[in-house]
Amino acid sequence: MSIVLVTGGSGFIGSHCILQLLAASHRVRTTVRSLDREEHVRAMLKVGGADPGDRLSFFAADLMKDEGWKEAVTGCEYVLHVASPLPAAVPKNEDELIVPARDGALRVLRAARDANVTRVVMTSSFAAIGYGQWPQQRPFDERNWTNLKRGGVTPYVKSKTIAENEAWNFMGRERGGLELAVVNPVVVFGPVLGADYSTSVLLVQRLMDGALPGCPKFMFGVVDVRDVADLHIRAMTNPAAKGERFLAVSGDFMWLRDVAKVLKSRLGERARRVPTLQLPNFMVRLAALRDPAVKQIIPELGKKKNATSEHARKLLGWEPRSREDAIVATAESLVQLGLLKGSR
């Protein structure tokens, strides 16, 4: 089987990509900013049911530095470029997100091209598709691009849009024999493998802990991390994925209040702290003063959106889990790993 590099193997999506690649008998390499993270990554994979031994190797590489990337990609057939900054709080300077996302993507693409890698699959986001635009009746799809010229676009949204756009520009200018496919997930839920989980999981963690007095009027799409990893691998191996974007979403978008109701109905007493009251916008803004994670959703309050994954379903045969199963799997993993108040 192939040798595959996964950048950012300590992350939520990256670790699940590694699990599925190992299950498919690939040999896997992964990059981490420090080799001290190897033990942490192996511990997460063990929670996920894998003990890869020497089928998994680690390379130190930083999105902001050239060192390490040549060594990491040499000999690989494919690269899954998953690594990108996703903070819980809005940074003081947007370049803290934009520069590593953009420059890191270009470093990976150049290194992959020079090493004769067949294809890079890059993790972008719905952030590069459905923001900074007027409301529209039809669901967003891969033809849409976020408009950075309109107000209310957060630094994270800018970073993902700019990074993906620069990646496609690179492919148009100097790709050589390299191929590119891009995966654009919505909010990624699913089973966490350790305490260092994705910022997106904070939504469920905050609800389960009762950290919010109610639910902000915030609508978003849901997809399970295991299905996002599966879509990466389909985009890696299917010839039809060359040069394509794939929006990853499971069903229609949901209000956060509907997520809370799923937790209540499926988890019973374990979800006793979950609020189901709609939180007025002025109270959300007050909460944002104390909770940086809440601040990030302020520009989206009350906005209705939808998106479709029809392209991935038709072209790659992708069939994601239900939104409800993804939500419940997130909460159950937080309980099982003792990552909620009173669950230890």
Domain map (residue ranges) of the chain: 3-190+221-251+306-322
Q: Tens place of pLDDT for every residue, the chain, 344 residues? A: 899 999 999 999 999 999 999 999 999 999 999 999 999 999 999 999 999 999 999 999 999 999 999 999 999 999 999 998 877 667 889 999 999 999 999 999 999 999 999 999 999 999 999 999 888 889 999 999 999 998 778 899 999 999 999 999 999 999 999 999 999 999 999 999 998 888 899 999 999 999 888 999 999 999 999 999 999 999 999 999 999 999 999 999 999 999 999 999 999 999 999 999 999 999 999 888 887 778 788 889 999 999 999 999 999 999 999 999 999 999 999 999 999 986 65
Q: What are phi and psi of 156, to 5 degrees?
A: -65, -45
Q: How many CB atoms lie within 10 A of CB 174?
A: 11
The token pair that represents 65 in the structure block: 């530095």
Of 46, 92, 160, 304, which is the active-site residue?
160
CA distance 5 to 268: 41
Q: What are phi and psi of 312, to 5 degrees?
A: -65, -35
Where would I find the beta strands (DSSP E) of 157-237?
179-185, 187-189, 215-216, 219-220, 222-224
Q: What is the pTM of this model?
A: 0.96
CA distance 252 to 263: 17
CATH topology of domain 3-190+221-251+306-322: Rossmann fold (3.40.50)
Task: Tell which residue, 326, 135, 307, 297, has the closest CA to residue 216.
Answer: 297
Angle at the Cα of 34 (from 33 to 38), degrees rounded to 5? Answer: 110
What is each CA distance from 94 to 100, 104, 160, 162, 281, in whole angstroms?
11, 15, 12, 12, 25
Task: Tell which residue, 153, 186, 166, has the closest CA to residue 13.
Answer: 186
For 125-176, what is each residue's pLDDT tens digit? 999 999 998 888 899 999 999 999 987 788 999 999 999 999 999 999 999 9
CA distance 248 to 227: 8
Determine which helix (DSSP H) or strand (DSSP E) holds 59, and give its type and residue range: strand 56-60
Determine which helix (DSSP H) or strand (DSSP E) holds 72, and give its type and residue range: helix 69-73
Answer yes or no: 160 catalytic: yes
The token pair that represents 149 in the structure block: 């010229």
219-220 and 254-255 as β-strands: parallel, antiparallel, unpaired? antiparallel
